[in-house]
Structure 1
């Protein structure tokens, strides 16, 4: 039982559930209700697509922990799993298994919809996660942007696999709605993840300095980096505010108040402490808060759908 719990901690099971759940919610509460015809992917294929995403993410998490082991043992010993509950020698086999299975499922899904080019999405994702762990996370904003982009990709995948959008079998209004929602959620995921990744770099600044990383806090200092993260978050709040204005003008008051209470208000609460945070504990609180806000954002998919049925 102890090893099972350690395994789920190693792969960041909660993050995986958020990613897989986001994909499923987008498919079943945005694409399926408006598409007007039977979707390209069967229920089994949709769940396999979510599983593929989760497996590749899990593989990336194990790679990251494996390569960061010496650093984590010194600066975050309480978080170290490899070499304790799970053997270090087992890690490479686990990495290969998770990535091969994830890419294999993606390859089969691409073949099943008649577009093998889609398999490149999974292969490139694995390569990016590997390069992120080896090199790219050491450089200011580069690694942050890669992680943010891969999070945004979760909302693009169900649309990419809905080949009928390309073949024009769907009403223009439905296509416009699906693509607009995809862009909105992908942009939200990208920006809030970018902020969170900068905050995590702020939390790890001491270790990054010691290991000669070139992350934003190492390059510009924690104060300036905190301001940059705050400004990006403020831009996100302005964008959400524009959407809220549209909701209010079009009579979607329930959507407006949900966004106000569960997105804007928490973001506002998170904004000011971000400018004055000074230690690892402060940044850890900011990181957790941003993760909660991301979950609230994803939850708008089923919540807004239910509001539309009232």
Structure 2
């Protein structure tokens, strides 16, 4: 169980759910052509999960001293897992992830795609070791990597088919691009909220974050305003692209938008570390609800076809 907590298994399950919904719940459910067989898709998923898990491990190794302040009772290294063992886990997961990615790239006839896996692994290491110390850079980088979980399925599933199917793939690519953008935006907000939780340890060890620069209460209020901005952006998107789809519109407005509104209200009043921990949970719920909206979209389109 210590190993599962080290690799953040709950976050990995969310990543797994996202990729499964993209491949099976959207592309295959709506009968779009895909390049990956079921086996190849699960190799892609395993490669992604291994590299992501390695990123969590190296981040915990680098945060040993910071976590003495931020998470004195929850830290795993070195209380439950030695630093040496954790680093061995990191190497094994990275080798497995990059190796599976290389195999899949060669198997699909696009060996150059292996560079994606090496690049993502390198970025995660760079984030853990120094990039997260720079104001907003770490937040943005992690959020790009979260969005890439969607985009990498698009690359492997659809890019090889563009020359054959051409314009017929423009709609699914556009939809998944927009979902990736929304995932990026939500995760930037969540990373800032996590900085609110970790402000004491970050400040003690020379990291720079919005709460350190602006203060906790002011930053919490900023996240509230940003969440309201996201709701406005969602409304505009629905108006231009989804207003004819009543089911998806209702889900996005009342479920996803409603969860963000709840977050915004709570964030405006948040003052304690306990409040900030709850805000992080609320945003994770919003992200899960946002992911499920892809399935809602698929079901509404299938329903409309009958």
TM-score, length of structure 2 as denominator length: 0.93
Counterpart of 2:18? 22
Counterpart of 2:247? 254
CA distance in 1, matches of 2:261, 2:143: 21
CA contact (8 A) 1:35 1:170 kept: no
Question: Using a 3 Å threshold, how does the CA distance of structure 1 residues 253 and 36 change in structure 2: closer, same or farther?
Answer: closer
Deviation at 1:88, TM superposition (A): 2.3
CA distance in 2, matches of 1:219, 1:55: 34
Indicate the SS of the match to 1:49: helix
Counterpart of 1:301? 294
Deviation at 1:33, TM superposition (A): 4.0
- Does residue 199 in structure 1 map to residue 199 in structure 2? no
Counterpart of 2:115? 120
CA distance in 1, matches of 2:268, 2:166: 47
Deviation at 1:197, TM superposition (A): 0.1
CA contact (8 A) 1:247 1:253 kept: no
Deviation at 1:184, TM superposition (A): 1.1
CA distance in 2, matches of 1:201, 1:136: 14
Per-residue CA deviation, residues 230-280 of structure 1 (Å, 9 max, x unaligned), is 333222211211233346631x21112211232011110110221231111
Deviation at 1:58, TM superposition (A): 0.5
Counterpart of 1:235? 229
Give the 4+ runs in structure 1 shifted more than 3 A.
33-37, 163-167, 246-249
Counterpart of 2:69? 74
- Does residue 266 in structure 1 map to residue 266 in structure 2? no
* Consecutive unaligned residues in structure 2, runs of 5 or more: none
Indicate the SS of the match to 1:77: coil
Correspondence 1:89-168 to 2 at 5 A: 89-162=84-157, 164=159, 167-168=162-163
CA contact (8 A) 1:138 1:214 kept: yes
CA contact (8 A) 1:152 1:190 kept: yes
Deviation at 1:90, TM superposition (A): 0.5
Counterpart of 1:60? 55
Indicate the SS of the match to 1:169: helix
Question: Using a 3 Å threshold, how does the CA distance of structure 1 residues 247 and 253 change in structure 2: closer, same or farther?
Answer: farther
Counterpart of 2:9? 13
CA contact (8 A) 1:71 1:207 kept: yes
CA distance in 1, matches of 2:250, 2:28: 26
Counterpart of 1:32? 28
CA distance in 1, matches of 2:241, 2:209: 38
Number of residue pairs aligned between Structure 1 and Structure 2: 303
TM-score, length of structure 1 as denominator length: 0.92
CA contact (8 A) 1:230 1:274 kept: yes
Counterpart of 1:224? 218
Moved more, 157-166 or 8-17: 157-166
Per-residue CA deviation, residues 22-45 of structure 1 (Å, 9 max, x unaligned), is 1121011222244654x2111011
Deviation at 1:168, TM superposition (A): 2.1
Counterpart of 2:164? 169
CA distance in 2, matches of 1:201, 1:91: 24
Deviation at 1:78, TM superposition (A): 1.8
CA contact (8 A) 1:165 1:175 kept: no
CA contact (8 A) 1:136 1:143 kept: yes
* Consecutive unaligned residues in structure 1, runs of 5 or more: none
Moved more, 117-126 or 72-81: 72-81
